[in-house]
Amino acid sequence: MSARGKGMSGFGALFRGKGKSQDPTAEDRAAALAARSQNEASKSAERASTDSPQGGDANGRIVLTVTEVNNAHGLSLVTLQTPNEAPLEGYEPGCHADFYLESPTGEELIRQYSLFPMSHADAEGQGEEQGTYGISVKLEDDSRGGSIAVHNLSEGDTVAISTPRNNFGLATEAKRSILVGAGVGISPIYSLARELKRQGEDYTVLYFASSKERAAMSHLIDEYLHGQTKSIFATGERDKQAGYINEALAAPDVAAADTHLYVCGPQGFMDGVIEVASHALPQQNIHWEAFRSSEETLAGDHRADGPFEVTFLGETYQIPEGESVLDVFEDEDVPIMSRCQDGTCGTCVVKVIEGVPDHRDSFFTEEQHENGAFTTCVSRALSPSLTLERWKNL
């Protein structure tokens, strides 16, 4: 998942390598990697200690129990509970976590899903959170196993997750918030809206779905956000989305500089909302979260499709056509963190210090790209070579 308008801190860590080493400095790098991995393992173990109400598995992951599953119309609404019904450590409105799932063939999969509260606090947001959270997942036609695994969950199953992280948090300076969600993109929008309601802030929610039957969270919207949400349930209504967005933006008593818009949903839908909002709001007041990079973003500039050279930590690597910088780094056992493989999480970031990159991620902002952020999993080079260094703010 990715979100614009946020900093680059808080990245998760997964080290991957393919066991090949012809580099004379590989032993030094391996030692550095081992030390770094041990440090992370120690931190994970500390988080998973018995003193923590969250508990955890042997890898320091938080283990949640599935208490309810509702599958209908290709959508799955899963309710999860923490071990001691305590608030989930690291949870914030708008956050997501890595879910460690098992594919039909037994392979471990890592997928990112937005978390939202499923507590039985009253409609005014009062009452204790009972450590109960939800995820909403669409069964994708081209699923690589993640959505299938979620749809196969049953009551009583356990699911391991990472500590949640947030790239889609609320802007504290906003005096008015417009929240727009389509399909399962309503998940983080719902969590943001519940927090705004709890704070007594000014907000409006627009909920788009192709039909009421496919609006898996409509009962939650009706219960907790009644009166603040306009639901648009009809195929083709998205063609009229500009009108709905402009209507929501037309608040004469709140300045554009004090209004923030948040959107989550399919890429084409978000592009349309962002385009409309860009005519009314400052760019930095528009926030979005993507499930995957668009085909256009991943395609990049065709001039960068060919081979190029990368210099990193004093070593030079040849990046052939059809392989990413990350692919080559993994083949050469270069220690680097990675996670999403499609430019949506920012984990594999390094810094460009020389050369012209072709940015193909949908995580970093234009300003962050200008400051050198480069995603090794998808981005390439328009120049014959790039010189890279580690990003110092991880």
Is 384 a member of any domain?
yes
**pLDDT confidence tier of residue 14, bands split at 50, 70 and 90:** very low
| Domain presence at residue 171 | no
Q: Is residue 306 part of a domain?
A: yes
pLDDT of res. 152: 94
Q: Would residue 89 count as lying in a domain?
A: yes
Q: Which of 235, 267, 290 is the last residue before a domain boundary?
A: 290
25, pLDDT greater than 60: no
| CATH, residue 96 | 2.40.30.10
Residues 149 and 244 occupy one common structural domain = no
pLDDT band at 393 (very low <50, low <70, confident <90, very high): low
Q: Is residue 2 part of a domain?
A: no
Q: Are residues 302 and 372 in the same domain?
A: yes
Q: Are residues 305 and 334 in the same domain?
A: yes
Q: Which of 272, 290, 308 is the last residue of a domain?
A: 290
How much of the chain exceeds pLDDT 70, in percent?
78
Q: What is the pLDDT of residues 27-62, one digit of tens each?
A: 444 444 444 444 444 444 444 444 455 666 667 899
Measured in degrees and rounded to the nearest 5, phi and psi for residue 45 equal -65, -40
Sheet strand arrangement including 373-375: 315-319, 308-312, 385-390, 349-354, 373-375
Domain count, the chain: 3
pTM attached to this predicted model = 0.71
pLDDT band at residue 262, thresholds of 50, 70 and 90? Answer: very high
- Across 176-189, average pLDDT: 95
- Please check whether residues 16 and 76 belong to one and the same domain: no
Spell out a b/e string for 346-376, using b for 16 or more CB atoms within 10 Å of the CB, else e: bbbbbebeebebbbbbbbbbeebbeebbbbb
Q: What is the average per-residue pLDDT within 314-340?
A: 93
Both 255 and 283 in one domain: the answer is yes
Which of 12-21, 31-40, 206-215, 375-384 is predicted with the least confidence, judged by mean pLDDT? 12-21
Which CATH number characterizes residue 373's domain? 3.10.20.30
Q: Domain check: are 84 and 103 in the same one? A: yes
Pair 273, 323 in one domain: no
- 6: pLDDT confidence band, cut at 50, 70 and 90? very low
User: Do residues 242 and 329 share a domain?
Assistant: no
Instruction: Share the mean pLDDT of the chain.
Output: 82
pLDDT in tens, 100-135: 998 888 888 888 899 999 976 544 445 555 799 999
In a domain, 168, yes or no: no
Structural domain span for residue 192: 176-290
Map 58-74 to HEC letters: CCCCEEEEEEEEEEECC
155 and 69 fall within a common domain:
yes
CATH number, domain with residue 259:
3.40.50.80
Instruction: Please check whether residues 155 and 193 belong to one and the same domain.
Output: no
Q: Are residues 269 and 328 in the same domain?
A: no
- Number of Cβ atoms within 10 Å of the Cβ of 124: 10
Highest mean pLDDT pick, 13-22, 221-230, 232-241, 325-334: 325-334
Q: Are residues 240 and 196 in the same domain?
A: yes
